[in-house]
Amino acid sequence: MNQFFSPTMSRFTNLLFLCMAHFIWSQTNTEVYLLDIISENGSLQLVNARNISNNIGYDNQPAFLDTDSILFSSTRNKQTDIAVYSIKSHKTTWITDTAVGSEYSPLKIPKKNALSAIRLDTAGLQRLYRYDISTGAYTELIKDLKVGYHVWYDDDILVCTVLVGNRMDLVVSDVKNKTNTTVAKNVGRSLHKIPNTSLVSYISKENQNWTIRSLDPKTGSSQDILITLPQIEDMCWLSDGTILMPSQQQIVAFSPTQNRKPNVFHSFTEKDIKTISRMAVSPDGKHMAIVVDEVP
């Protein structure tokens, strides 16, 4: 039996339908917000929500470079570049300025002073590139694959989604040995390393009710973690193994290992925070970044 999944979870599926609401993710007019995670009376709380992108247009796909810095994609001069925000200094700087294309989904490459990002060229070519953090110099990481989203398993192996027709398939890529292995078909965009394991999570869309599954990138084995809902694309993990999922103005929590019912982790009362999509938690667990549809 999977360490995450238990048959008793099925009784909570109906409750999940009540807790999670359908939303449409938009690539325009989005903002990145930063929140502090604090412990209060034995439970975690989200406080001090602030807009760190504060930019007209597309600001999305946040990922922590380290405990102080947040990477995200941001529109400027009619293209999308990679920005980095410092929590301590409250300043934003730019890593890329690519005239021939735009960058999306930036991630730190483990053990290297470099990051990876999807680049969509003005000619229509979509590939995964490596960018030097200091200079912005870039090289192509995976040839001939139209990568949509990715997560690093270690400094040589990454798990990515590859566009195939009107769907995305899950591929394990070894950039050192230049091998690509398809391990699942029709998956979602949310890819994460599972805390305190050697596994990666992804969302399978093969059935009507989408399923969060675990993957061992070295063996290719995959198991169910949690049945989720159609149209729920985004999630993230807390260090204790709790899954967080967005539901319009709320974040819902579910703990697979403890078979708990889904509960409301946080409800936003800020008037500017209406629909939440992407979420990321800092390596030290002290901050969370979310993406919010901008209120007209």
* For the chain, domain boundaries: 7-293
**What is the 8-class DSSP label of residue 198?**
S
The per-residue pLDDT for 228 is 73
The per-residue pLDDT for 296 is 58
Taking residues 82-103, what's their average pLDDT? 96
DSSP 149-180: EEEESSSSEEEEEEEETTEEEEEEEETTTTEE
Given a cut of 70, is residue 197 above it in pLDDT?
yes
The b-or-e profile of 105-139 (16+ CB within 10 A means b, else e) is bbbbbeeeebbbbbbbeeeeeebbbbbebeeeebe
Given a cut of 90, is residue 65 above it in pLDDT?
yes
Give CA separation, 39 vs 43, 153, 172, in Å.
Answer: 5, 29, 37
Confidence of residue 128 (pLDDT cuts 50, 70, 90): very high
Q: How far apart are CA 235 and CA 190, in angstroms?
A: 7
Tell me the one-letter amino acid at 40: E
Q: How far apart are CA 134 and CA 259, in angstroms?
A: 45
Q: How far apart are CA 166 and CA 146, in angstroms?
A: 12
The per-residue pLDDT for 129 is 98
Taking residues 114-142, what's their average pLDDT? 96
Q: How far apart are CA 235 and CA 252, in angstroms?
A: 10
Given a cut of 70, is residue 101 above it in pLDDT?
yes
- The two structure tokens encoding residue 185: 């078909």
Quickly tell me which residue has 């192509």 as its tokens. 140
Residues 117 and 82 sit within 8 Å (Cβ to Cβ): yes
- The two structure tokens encoding residue 203: 């969302």
Q: Report pLDDT digits (tens) over 8-57.
A: 344 333 333 333 333 233 347 899 999 999 998 888 999 999 999 999 99
The per-residue pLDDT for 22 is 30
Closest residue by Cα to residue 184 from 161, 207, 166, 165? 161
User: CB under 8 Å to 291, separation ≥6 — which residues?
Assistant: 30, 31, 32, 33, 59, 60, 61, 62, 276, 277, 278, 279
- Give the helix, strand, coil percentages of the chain, each rounded to 5: 5, 50, 45
Mean pLDDT of the chain: 89
Residues 187 and 205 sit within 8 Å (Cβ to Cβ): yes
- The two structure tokens encoding residue 234: 């985004």
Percent of the chain with pLDDT over 70: 89
What's the topology of domain 7-293?
Neuraminidase (2.120.10)
Backbone Cα Rg of the chain: 18
Given a cut of 80, is residue 227 above it in pLDDT?
no
* pTM reported for the whole predicted model: 0.89
Q: Report pLDDT digits (tens) over 247-261.
A: 989 999 988 877 567
What is the maximal distance between C-alpha atoms in the chain?
54
- Sheet with strand 276-281: strands edge to edge: 43-51, 30-40, 287-293, 276-281
Quickly tell me which residue has 């390596």 as its tokens. 283
Q: How far apart are CA 25 and CA 46, in angstroms?
A: 23
165: exposed, middle or buried (Cβ count in 10 Å: 0-12, 13-18, 19+): exposed
Q: How far apart are CA 240 and CA 231, in angstroms?
A: 26
Helix (H/G/I), strand (E/B), else coil: 12: helix
The per-residue pLDDT for 209 is 86
